[in-house]
Amino acid sequence: MKVFIYPTNSLILSDLVERFGHEPLAIMQEIGKKVRTQGLDSPPMNMTPEDPKFGLKYAAVEVPSGVRGRMSLFDPLLSKAEAAIIVIEPVISFGCMGCARTNELVNFLLRGKKIPLLKLDYPTNEEDAKMFVYKISEFLKSLKPAEDKK
Amino acid sequence: MSTTENLVRIAQLSCGAEYSGIQNEIDSAVKQVNAVMVYPEVDIGDIEAIEEEFGLKVASPDLKLLMARAKSIVTGKVHVDAVFIATCFRCAEAAIVRSEVRRYINEKTGIPVISYSFTERTTAGTLLTRMEALTTTARRKSLLAREKQNGLTAGIDSGSTTTKAVVMKDNKIIGKGWVPTIKVLESAQEAFNNAMKEAGVTRSDIQALGTTGYGRFLIGEFLKADLMQEEITVNSKGAVYLADKQKGPATVLDIGGMDNKAISVMDGIPGMFTMGGICAGASGRFLEMTAKRLGVGITELGALALKGNAHNVKMNSYCIVFGIQSLVNSLAGGSTPEDVAAAACHSVAEQLFEQQLQEVDVKEPVIMVGGTSLIQGLPKAVEELLKVKVIVPDNAQYIGAVGAALLASGFISK
């Protein structure tokens, strides 16, 4: 299945999802497309003033342009998501999304999708960390493998 | 602007600029003023500790990064000449961080700072004047320290509504010209000719010429000016010079035909400044339209406003369309033209107060300059809102031209 991960640039979450035979939906994919697309010229991510306009699908013009620009990146991931894992209050080194308002909106939209959703706190000690990985693995095992879906 | 001038290192402290698709615009504006953007290095530990150290708790990690970068400038980990702080327009959390970081850097280091809230519509052109002022403050401190005008010099201020020119000799204004801006070059030439005629001099007598305002480059190149400078530094200089407040802090307010400037000045040099330009309802244009609707000249509006009471008129909007509509409705409902004129002045002053003055530290003396400062109701409305005495110096409408003539005298020896 296509599993949305939050924080959406978490390499650990992305790796876990892959290990259990699913496809992680991570922001790196979308940013990668922007960086590799030729003909755009707004470094470092090749976003242009048109991108926040795509974000109008999710939020009106009174919402800051940075939120809407980020939502334009999240759009393909949100529309493909068949399941999601959300880690609450992770440390920055685990994965970091820059804008709190965008994070709130993304989390809200995921809840509204009525897809299998795992929400769990970021662990602060070794015992919790083991439980953290166990819960994620059990959740991923419960999902239909990506191959079956095809 | 000259590309031969030394390169200025500007630290970019921002949240959301790249996601708004405007990083290219920022880079383009910076390149035009021969500056380079730098992004102060921080490590994860700095970001994690910054809320406690800075004393401000925020939810967005990019704002934590912004604060950590500010700290690395203040502690001297990175050397920069100026700082550009930018966050998304309408983000409340970012507005608080932007304002506090701006104050923190300016107080701790004295490095010139400008803060800006952007949308995806922000262009390099919008940013250029601000970047030009920022780099000028960083690289031309000795020029800006000039307190007296020497020799025979002239200044031309090409504004969006009017073009002003002065000729100065040995620290005195000896000729003035003020014409509406129609065609930029022709209006400038006319204002300049009028000033030279009054002064009894010719172009060849003028030892140095400075230009400022929107048309500064066009006019400056045509008239072979020695100095082509944006209006923030020029107006700051002109304001403290005309008000005789060259030493210590001052706040300069200039409500222009198209945009407003609020500048914190120390010893005649701008430290923090903001330029508003999103809403026409906060500009001199609003007062012009009110005067037209009341059937009086713009020069009469101020005296009318002094006789009125703004609080007798209910305004439902600051907008140049709907706000004027409110005024028209008030007239139809029996309000006096005096009250309506006062309400218009109050509306413009209130927008400056609500939308721009948070971006600077308002310290006395507060000096109002530009043509709108002569609309007496406007300084009065600003005084009421700020609860401080507002100074309107003589020749306040020539502020840009005087500042340009004053600074241009620094080029005579060359």
ipTM of the complex in this document: 0.89
Inter-residue contact B410 to B146 (CB < 8 Å): yes
Q: Provide the residue type at B388 as one letter.
A: V
pLDDT at A34: 81
- Paired tokens of A64: 């800051």
Residues of B in contact with A43 (CB under 8 A): 18, 23-24, 27
Which regions of chain B are under pLDDT 70? 1-4, 277-278, 413-414
Same domain? B88 vs B148? no
- Taking each helix axis as running N to C, give the angle between helix B61-74 and helix B92-109, from 0 to 180 degrees, rounded to the nearest 10: 10
Q: Are B113 and B171 part of one and the same domain? A: no
**Nearest CB neighbour to B60, from listed A42, A43, A98:** A98
| Lookup: tokens for B191 | 């204002």
B62 forms beta bridges with none
Q: Which amino acid is at A142?
A: S
Residue A147 pLDDT grade (very low, low, confident, very high; cuts 50, 70, 90): low
Assess contact for B367 and B343: CB atoms under 8 A. no
As a three-state string, the secondary structure of B86-127 is EEECCCHHHHHHHHHHHHHHHHHHCCCEEEEEECCCCCHHHH
Which of the listed residues B139, B164, B179 is the one where a domain comes to its end? B139
Q: Do B60 and A43 touch (CB under 8 A)?
A: no
Of B24, B44, B62, the CB nearest to A99: B62
**Torsion angles phi and psi, residue B401, rounded to 5:** -65, -40
Domain holding A6, by residue range, is 2-149
pLDDT at residue A150, as a whole number = 45
The sheet with strand A117-121 has its strands ordered as A23-25, A2-6, A83-88, A117-121
Query: Do residue B25 and residue B105 come from a single domain?
Result: yes
Name the 3-class secondary structure at B247. coil
**What is the Cα gyration radius of chain B?**
22
Q: For residue B28, what is the nearest residue in chain A, using CA coordinates?
A: A42
Chain A residues whose beta carbon lies within 8 Å of the beta carbon of residue B16: 64-67, 69, 98-99
- B18 touching A (Cβ < 8 Å): yes
Task: Find how far residue B112's CA is from the centre of its chain.
Answer: 14
Number of domains in chain B: 2
Where a domain ends, among B139, B174, B202? Answer: B139
Distances (CA, A) of A17 to A21, A89, B201: 7, 19, 81
- Please tell me the distance in Å from B274's CA to the nearest CA on chain A: 20
Residue B97 sits in the same domain as residue B15:
yes
Which of A61, A65, A72 is the best mutation test for B, with the most CBs of B within 10 A?
A65
Number of domains in chain A: 1
Task: Quote the CA–CA distance of B142 and B343 in Å, as a whole number.
Answer: 43
CATH, residue B181: 3.30.420.40
% of chain A surpassing 70 pLDDT:
91
Is the pLDDT higher at A147 or at B100? Answer: B100
Q: Are residues B175 and B126 in the same domain?
A: no
Same domain, residue pair B152 and B131: no
Is the CB of residue B92 less than 8 Å away from at least one CB of chain A? no
Question: Which of the listed residues B139, B163, B181 is the one where a domain comes to its end?
Answer: B139
- Which residues in chain B (55-84) have CB-CB distances under 8 A to chain A? 58-62, 64-65
pLDDT of res. A6: 94
For residue B224, being part of any structural domain is answered with yes
Q: Token digits for B158?
A: 């090409």
Q: Say whether A66 and B23 touch across the interface (CB within 8 A).
A: no
| B268 backbone φψ class: left, alpha, beta (φ>0; ψ -120 to 50) | left
Identify residue B47 by its one-letter amino acid code: I
Q: What's the confidence (pLDDT) of residue A42?
A: 52
* Nearest by Cα to B225 from B4, B404, B5: B404
Are B47 and B80 within one domain? yes
Over residues B193-203, the pLDDT tens digits come to 999 999 999 99
User: Would you say the C-alpha torsion B212, B215, B216, B219 has a positive or negative sign?
Assistant: negative
Task: Please give the residue range of the domain that contains residue B90.
Answer: 8-139
B44 and B71 housed in the same domain: yes
Beta carbons of B33 and B133 less than 8 angstroms apart: no
The two tokens of residue B262 are: 């609020």
A contacts of B47 (beta carbons < 8 Å)? 92
**CB-based contact B48 A91, cutoff 8 Å:** yes
- Chain A: residues touching B (Cβ < 8 Å): 41-45, 47-53, 62-70, 73, 91-93, 96-101
Mutate to test the interface with B, among A51, A88, A99 (most CBs of B within 10 A): A99
d(CA A31, CA A25): 12
- How far apart CA B14 and CA B75 sit, in angstroms, is 19
* Mean pLDDT within A29-44: 71
- Same domain, yes or no: B30 and B134: yes
Q: Which residues of A touch B118 (CB under 8 A)?
A: 65
Instruction: Phi first, then psi: give them for residue B412, nearest 5 degrees.
Output: -60, -45
**CB distance B326 to B295 below 8 Å:** no
CATH number of the domain where residue B14 is located:
3.40.50.11900
Residue entry with tokens 């509504």: B161
B221 and B188 both lie in a single domain? yes
Number of other residues whose CB lies within 10 A of the CB of residue A37: 9
The B113-118 sheet, strands edge to edge: B35-38, B8-15, B82-88, B113-118, B269-276, B260-266, B249-255, B366-369, B390-391
Write the DSSP assignment of B18-74 as a string of letters.
Answer: TTTT-HHHHHHHHHHTTEEEE-----HHHHHHHIIIII---S-HHHHHHHHHHHHHH
Same domain, residue pair B103 and B193: no
- Closest chain A residue to B89, measured at CA: A64
Option in B21, B60, B90 nearest A47 (CB): B21
User: What are the φ and ψ backbone dihedral angles of B82, each rounded to 5 degrees?
Assistant: -155, 165
- The 8-class DSSP code of residue A108 comes to H
Residue of B21, B59, B62 lying closest to A49 (CB–CB): B21
Q: Are residues B151 and B110 in the same domain?
A: no
B376 touches B340 (CB < 8 A): no
- Whole-angstrom Cα distance, residue B230 to residue B215? 10
pLDDT of residue B74: 97
Q: Is residue B17 part of a domain?
A: yes
The answer to whether the CB atoms of A65 and B60 lie below 8 A apart is: no
Flag if A44 and B23 touch (Cβ within 8 Å).
yes
Residue B321 in any domain: the answer is no
Tens of pLDDT, residues A82-140: 999 999 999 988 988 889 999 999 999 999 999 999 999 999 999 999 999 999 999 99
Q: Which residues of B touch A58 (CB under 8 A)?
A: none
For residue B373, give the DSSP letter.
Answer: G
Q: Determine, yes or no, domain membership for B173.
A: yes
Nearest by CB to A98, which of B61, B90, B120? B61
SS3 B269: strand
| DSSP-derived 3-state class of residue B1 | coil
